Amino acid sequence: MLKNFSPELIEIRNNPFSSSKSTAITDGVFMKDTIGINDVFIPLTLESVDVGLIISLSKKLQDIEDSKNPQNILVLGEYGQGKSFSLKKIQDEIYTKHNGAIISYSIGGNASVLKEGTDYFTKKLMSDLELLFKALDATLYLNKTAIDLKYSLTTSVTGKTFHQFLEAYDNAFQELGITVYIFIDELDKIVISDAPESIIKVFLEDLKLIADTCGKSLSLIIAGTQNCLVKMNNLSVDYSQRFDLIESSYLTKQETSSYISKKCSSKLDYVGYHPFDTEVKNLIYSLTGGNIRKIEVLCRELWFHSSRNKVKISREELNKFMQTKLFELVKKILSRNASNHQISFVIGLYLKKDRVGISSLSRKLSKQKFREIKTLFEEGSILTTVGKSYQLSETVKDSINSALLD
């Protein structure tokens, strides 16, 4: 028997959806059973649903572990598509399930240093590889000392080029039976930035050198927005032969519905208890375009709305919620002097994602109200015309989207 929605089950403290803040990977060196590494690996605490990107990365990870053949991976996707979260989820798998080591960098916090054109990144990677090797427990890796001497890892570091250094550690970790995963997130913070192109190209060439040199034990996984690939091509830095490309796509309507259901099921035992009905999940897809972060933000607020008001989220409740949320937002975008009628008209167009016939509008509205709508068109940036209809300008749509769900 299907169990029905129970308002008391929708508790604020059990909200399975996350806030708009993105999940950044943590800088540091991480591996179990090591000595002297101060970086502490913090596992994910958020409920996760395995969608396209996580599934693709997880398969790649399993391939690497099964074959012991490291691969270099380039992950591309727009903001809010779960790149950083997916990398963090894969790091969890490496740390908890596999005998792998993690060296992790999020460019965001280091972008200003990298833009100066220093060799900060190469020095940092060399330092972290050496730190990882020294931290290995010699009682678990009995050939550690012999390998150290064989490749002069910690005794003759000076004078080695970056290429020679990488080559030595690539060989050493292979003999120890360790795969080292080097993660670099937020590539766009340096590649798509105001840094001189010469500096950007040197940084990209360093990454290419890592990919070219390593292949025995070091696996490079980098992530950024789609624009990164365009910039790489413009700078003639060819990554296609060195990296497997994984692109993060927006969720489909069906995937969005499944994603929301799985999130709710992590806190509620029966589908019938869920606060979102099928129609609402489809409307959420229309409002978010399948962007994972936007789905998370909107569903989080709707869960709170359901809990506070003790209601199931129906089409009517969603529209009521959106109308309230949109009113002040649209008022700011239009102007302080915008009338309630103008604000409501813009909200209606936004929610319906459609256009309205001008002649039909003039027949339905009073002269005063129709004049107010014409004023929005005459201002030039609010409404545009398509044939004999009004529709919202792309600028206004983008402004509402970014402010509403970011």
Tens-place pLDDT, residues 56-97: 899 999 999 998 899 999 999 888 888 888 899 899 999 988
CATH class entry, domain 7-247: alpha beta
Lowest mean pLDDT among 134-143, 158-167, 350-359: 350-359
Q: Please say if the pLDDT value at position 21 is more than 70.
A: no
pLDDT 10s digits, 99-111: 789 999 999 877 7
> How far is C-alpha 38 from the geometric centre of its chain's CA atoms?
27
Report how far residue 107's alpha carbon sits from residue 184's, in angstroms, rounded to the nearest whole number.
7
Confidence of residue 271 (pLDDT cuts 50, 70, 90): confident
Is residue 45 very low, low, confident or very high in pLDDT (cuts 50, 70, 90)?
A: low
Query: Given a cut of 60, is residue 208 above it in pLDDT?
Result: yes
Question: Between 317 and 336, where is the model more confident?
Answer: 317
Query: Which residue, 32, 161, 46, 185, is CA-closest to 111?
Result: 185
What pLDDT does residue 20 have? Answer: 60
pLDDT-derived band of residue 322, with 50, 70 and 90 as boundaries? confident
Q: Mean pLDDT across the chain, nearest whole number?
A: 87
**Position with higher pLDDT, 23 vs 273:** 273
What pairs with residue 385 in β-bridges? 390
Give residue 1's pLDDT.
Answer: 45
Of all residues in the chain, the percent with pLDDT exceeding 90 is 39
Give the range among 16-25, 283-292, 334-343, 353-362 with minimum mean pLDDT: 16-25
Going by C-alpha positions, the residue among 156, 125, 129 that lies closest to residue 31 is 129
pLDDT digits (tens, 9 = 90+) for 215-254: 999 999 999 998 898 888 888 777 778 899 998 888 899 9
199-210: average pLDDT? 91
* Amino acid letter, residue 298: L
CATH class of 326-406: mainly alpha
**326-406 shares the fold of 7-247:** no
- Write down the domain spans for the chain: 7-247, 326-406
Count of all residues that appear for the chain in the document? 406
In the predicted structure, residue 262 carries a pLDDT above the cut 60: yes
pLDDT at 2: 55
Q: How many CA atoms lie within 13 A of 150 on its CB side?
A: 14
Looking at the chain, the whole-number percentage of residues with pLDDT higher than 70 is 95
The full 3-state SS of the chain, as one line of letters, equals CCCCCCHHHCCHHHCCCCCCCCCCCCCEEECCCECCCCCCCCCCCCCCCCCHHHHHHHHHHHHHHHHCCCCCEEEECCCCCCHHHHHHHHHHHHHHHCCEEEEEEEHHHHHHHHHCCCCHHHHHHHHHHHHHHHHECCCCCCCHHHHHHHHCCCCCCCCCCHHHHHHHHHHHHHHHCCEEEEEEECCHHHHCCCCCHHHHHHHHHHHHHHHHHCCCCEEEEEEECCHHHHHHHHCCCCCCCCCEEEECCCCCHHHHHHHHHHHHHCCCCCHHHCCECHHHHHHHHHHHCCCHHHHHHHHHHHHHHHHHHCCCECHHHHHHHHHHHHHHHHHHHHCCCCCHHHHHHHHHHHHHCCCEEHHHHHHHCCHHHHHHHHHHHHCCCCEEEECCEEEECHHHHHHHHHHHHC
Please tell me the predicted confidence (pLDDT) of residue 74: 95
